[in-house]
Amino acid sequence: MTLFIIGILILAVKLFFFAIKMAWGLTKVVAFVVFLPVILIGMLLAGLLSAAFPLLVVALVVAFIVSGWKRV
């Protein structure tokens, strides 16, 4: 009985840390997909094209490298 309870506690802790890692990964994806375009559009509207364009190019290069140059 004690061994079962210890096993359940270990499983719960491991699942908790897995959930934290997954939530952090999803946060990074949402930040890249949602906030980066919003920031770039805001920079464009504010007249910061000279800074927004290089950031856009860098983001596109990183996206292509991460995706493995696959066509959608």
What would the pLDDT profile of 16-50 be if each residue is shown by its tens digit? 999 999 999 888 888 878 888 888 888 888 888 88
pLDDT category at 66 given cuts 50, 70, 90 is confident
19 sits in which H/E element: helix 2-30
Q: Is the pLDDT confidence value at 72 over 60?
A: no
Name the pTM for this structure: 0.48
